[in-house]
Amino acid sequence: MALFGSSTKTEQVPKNIRPTVIKTQNVAKELMEVAKKNGVSTNSLDFDILEVQTYTRVNNEKIESDWEEISKSELHQLDDATAILNQKFQIKQVYEIEIYSKDDNDVFKNFHAAVGANATKCKVYLSIKAGSEAVTNPRFEEDFSNYIKKSKIRAGILVDIFDEMVHDVVSRISAQAKVDGKISYDKNQTILISDAYEPTPTINDELILHYDKEHAPSEKSENDRVDHSKRGFIHSVLEGDLLIEYIKPKKGKPGRNCRGEFMEPAEPEIKHAPDFTVNDTIEVIDNQDNILYRAKTSGYISLDAKMYQIKSDMDVGEISFKATGSISTGLDSEVCLSVKENDSQKDAIGSGMEVEVSEIDIKGNVGQNAKVHAKRASIDGQTHKTSEIRANDLTINVHKGLAVGDNIKISRLENGVVEGKKVEIVQAIGGNIRAKDIEIGICMSHVKATASRLIDCQIVCSYF
């Protein structure tokens, strides 16, 4: 009679199966079948390799030939690329094994490793987990070699083919084991144990627009926010720049992986063949693998009716956030920009816009916080007090902001700042001027002029 509150515990005794000899191509499947039949875990089973038989054949399109067994001494001939990379060549292995329950005295019971491979299964690795160890014995080298071979067979990897490196791996580890009395790993380690014929990937055609450096309508600022004002309205180029590259399609080369599977490369896709032309401003270089389109002159790249060309002159109505965004082609781009907006109530260069070109002619006004940088610039309107204009040769009608350059000519200075080498001002009614030479036609009050060599004022007027 059982008493309430008491408990009994039955010890679980590992179940040993009867050793079973099987001949198969799929060892992993057979291990699962035997485990299921005997009601045990697959992990509790091990096997010995009694025999490995390797068969090959070459199939014609119409006739399927018989499999022929090859001897172990002939296996090295299978590393010949001519035979292995023949699409009609086939290879398989049949394994005679004896399946049994794992022995507690197994040398590798604390050795935790798995077989892994790259995507094509052309390179196979033994991945040893940190903490793994195995105690040496007189047959350790043979046992370790069998351990690797059995691990490969479980994973469906051919043995004694594509694995010339295994002998050196086993010898090196066995030698270390003899010295230390065991092998142990404090960190994960990966060892190459098979290396077959990796296929060369097929190359699909591709059209790369190198002139569009961002490949996007906007760029990011320092705080990683997208700056939509810099969206590449003009793509500037310099002489010799690579503008466009067409990658020609190319079918890859076949391979064969460590399972013996032939790997036929896919046919290349052709979707981006050039459907445009170029004029004599662009050089076309047709190579074996690609076609290169290089700039023969500096300027900006233009696409008109499927013809690419490089131009230097451009007319725009206005430069604003809505119309163009900021424009930056570089001072050496040889781009000459003409901004036509001359309505006194509007800005030709909009608020916050930045412009950098070789030359620019602005018919109207420059808005607040706008920046213009060029080798030569002319402004027929007026500049805002928060604007910044920089140019070697600079001409401004009415100036209220900051102007920096070598040779600066201003019709009317209204409390602006001017920094240059030679400055000529027709009328100054307020402002700060710093230069080597300063010439002023009419100088009113509230003007501060500082020169290192010359100040010439023709008429000086003051109000009290």
How would DSSP label each residue in 345-390?
A: TSEEE-TT-EEE-SEEEESSEE-TT-EEEEEEEEEEEEB-TT-EEE
Paired residues of 285 in beta bridges: 292
Shortest CA distance to 100 belongs to which of 178, 147, 44?
44
**pLDDT score for 462:** 66
Residue written as token pair 């001949």: 23
CA distance 86 to 250: 20
- Summarize pLDDT for 61-107 with one digit per residue, the tens: 667 778 999 988 887 777 677 778 888 899 999 999 999 998 878 88
Average pLDDT over residues 9-20: 68
End-to-end CA distance of the chain: 125
User: What DSSP designation does 187 have?
Assistant: S
CA distance 271 to 267: 13
CA distance 140 to 154: 21
Helix axes 27-38, 140-154, angle to 10 degrees: 90
Handedness of CA 362, 365, 367, 368 (dihedral sign): positive
CA distance 206 to 263: 24
Residue 11: which pLDDT band, with cuts at 50, 70 and 90?
A: very low
Model-level pTM? 0.71
pLDDT at residue 316 tops 60: yes
Q: Which helix (H) or strand (E) holds 89?
A: strand 89-101
pLDDT at residue 138 tops 60: yes
Backbone Cα Rg of the chain: 40
The total of other beta-carbon atoms located within 10 Å of residue 448's CB is 11
Burial (CB count within 10 angstroms: exposed 0-12, middle 13-18, buried 19+), residue 399: buried
pLDDT at residue 408 tops 60: yes
Average pLDDT over residues 294-308: 92
Q: β-strand 236-237 against 277-278: which pairing, if any?
A: unpaired
Average pLDDT over residues 366-393: 95
**pLDDT score for 1:** 34
Q: β-strand 416-428 against 402-413: which pairing, if any?
A: parallel
Using DSSP's 3-state secondary structure scheme, residue 447 falls into: strand
**pLDDT score for 463:** 55
Extended beta strands in 129-268, E state: 133-135, 182-184, 189-195, 206-209, 219-220, 226-227, 236-237, 242-247, 255-256, 262-263
